[in-house]
Structure 1
């Protein structure tokens, strides 16, 4: 049975620990043991490394040596103030453009400023660090993956998200050029003419601005892969688009509070926070003990599942909220397998054009990677409204049959 749209669905659970079998320093979860954390699988070895690890960690640290959590006092169900640490460290990401085109430190366009940029997971959501500084976080608007492409004709407007859009002003097929503009909330930010047939430096377009604590910071990249002509229109193919929201920068400082945690350490590489209030666990398997806005500790009943009548099982968890604007009634007895992916872990790898309906006149062409020209001439666009009409006809037929019977 699928959950009701907009309501909590299944829970994502962390690794369980028995308080009667775990030392006080053993209550620790990282991205591989708690699904609420951001986890890029290609970074696995660095996320689990014992030293210089990347990503997020949650750990209990006893401060006073009294009533500690764990084997020395298995019945204790109080986490004192400052005893629950949340740590997060930034990790490097190579631009897809650099990887796919085989660029090196000596061949990358200087506008990129390097082969890598850095991300920092912050309460389960990945951000880009401004100036590679973990205390300055920018929201990711869009990142086109290696296999993503966007096909636009003259006059098309590509909604990138968060108010940003890219408008194709003109495509010159004979000159292999495209003129486009980047805007936010209708106000033009940048405009450029890119040659689609030449060196990488000619085909790439970048934009910088002053934001955070820095000047001339890179916030936008796109690459014009090609231009072509269909029977009626001229098109341009955009790849490797990368955009962060320069107008929404989170600056993190010592003493700041976020979701029940206080920042106690900031550095260029990472941030450490501790719980600002005591957490008293309700030892009831049906109770959720929230310690952030969305994360909570789940426990067993006292003694249940533990090797001690005083001990209990504890693990962090978070609920998955499933929202489907098209669904109004839960579907019961469904045998179809449903794959639910945490948006915080994957959304940065999905191009916005795969989450929205294609723009008029270009339906189906974004996924035609090898021969976009054939897609422009041969693709068929499904017109809206057919589903509604067939539904009405079906209802009318049912009513007619009932009358006859």
Structure 2
């Protein structure tokens, strides 16, 4: 679990979240719940108060799996006074949860780790570690058909090309690229549907090795007299090129990472 605690004083009545923690011009103000009381001590009491996505619409919420990961707490600390929260009294927390892939039609497509981070959905580079994150680009069970020589745009500069189909129509050679540059390739057989998923693992992503960055399931391959076609059903991709590492002294707006 990663914990982010306030290091500056803050007012109580309006909770805000930034659409981008790095850019103030992207700030969006979203109201949280209203608490009754004449001062912070009366509102917080001895046990403190905590809100999550059910009370604060800005927090990340996966509606399909009914999963939320973020909370914001106001704690009973010595510096609480009047309408001011004392240092260390405002604590943002988020933790890893599991959600299902959109595509579930083959072995290995069960669950993956997610974490909300300042209202956005991120993927931990390692399933049980929350300090190295990348945004999710694609999680889809849509069906795509690509001919050999054609490229499927995956978003954020990532693409998948069908290079060649074998004469028996049982295998396809795929190439994965980023901004037009080669990343990895593989020949996938569709004889056994449970072996028809290609999983791309890369090294040295924020100093982590064997990071799963891309998954694709090949549903069918067709070799015809005119066209050679691969049918894809099942795509999952993270933006590993823009992954980030959260350090213990990082600041996000008025919050410091103290975990």
1:19 equivalent to 2:37? Answer yes
1:153 corresponds in structure 2 to 147
CA contact (8 A) 1:17 1:27 kept: no
2:116 corresponds in structure 1 to 121
For residues 235 and 119 of structure 1, the distance between their equivalents in structure 2, rounded to whole angstroms, comes to 33
CA contact (8 A) 1:226 1:236 kept: yes
For residues 229 and 66 of structure 1, the distance between their equivalents in structure 2, rounded to whole angstroms, comes to 71
How far off its partner does 1:230 sit? 7.9
For residues 259 and 227 of structure 1, the distance between their equivalents in structure 2, rounded to whole angstroms, comes to 50
For residues 169 and 19 of structure 1, the distance between their equivalents in structure 2, rounded to whole angstroms, comes to 66
1:232-243 maps to which residues of 2 (within 5 A)? 233-243=227-237
1:86 equivalent to 2:82? Answer no
Pair 180,43 (structure 1): closer, same or farther in 2 beyond 3 Å: closer
Higher strand share: 2
CA contact (8 A) 1:142 1:242 kept: yes
Pair 239,197 (structure 1): closer, same or farther in 2 beyond 3 Å: same
Deviation digits for residues 193-223 of structure 1, max 9, x if unmatched? 222332411x111111112343222211101
2:130 corresponds in structure 1 to 134
1:18-167 maps to which residues of 2 (within 5 A)? 18-20=36-38, 22-24=43-45, 25=47, 27-44=49-66, 47=68, 55-64=69-78, 66-67=80-81, 76-97=82-103, 99-101=104-106, 103=107, 108=108, 115-132=110-127, 133-144=129-140, 146=141, 148-167=142-161
1:218-367 maps to which residues of 2 (within 5 A)? 218-228=212-222, 233-265=227-259
Rg larger in structure: 1
Deviation digits for residues 318-366 of structure 1, max 9, x if unmatched? xxxxxxxxxxxxxxxxxxxxxxxxxxxxxxxxxxxxxxxxxxxxxxxxx
Gaps of 5+ in 2: 1-25
CA contact (8 A) 2:217 2:233 kept: yes
Deviation digits for residues 165-190 of structure 1, max 9, x if unmatched? 11122234742322221011211111
CA contact (8 A) 1:173 1:234 kept: no
Gaps of 5+ in 1: 1-7, 48-54, 68-75, 266-405
How far off its partner does 1:224 sit? 0.5
RMSD: 2.8
Deviation digits for residues 263-320 of structure 1, max 9, x if unmatched? 111xxxxxxxxxxxxxxxxxxxxxxxxxxxxxxxxxxxxxxxxxxxxxxxxxxxxxxx
CA contact (8 A) 1:58 1:87 kept: yes
Pair 14,151 (structure 1): closer, same or farther in 2 beyond 3 Å: farther
Higher helix share: 1
| TM-score scaled by length of structure 2 | 0.76
Higher relative contact order (CA 8 A, sep 6+): 1
For residues 201 and 80 of structure 2, the distance between their equivalents in structure 1, rounded to whole angstroms, comes to 53
SS at match of 1:175: coil
1:205 corresponds in structure 2 to 198
CA contact (8 A) 2:197 2:215 kept: yes
How far off its partner does 1:226 sit? 1.1
How many equivalent residue pairs?
Answer: 228
How far off its partner does 1:63 sit? 1.4
CA contact (8 A) 2:65 2:100 kept: no
CA contact (8 A) 1:228 1:234 kept: yes
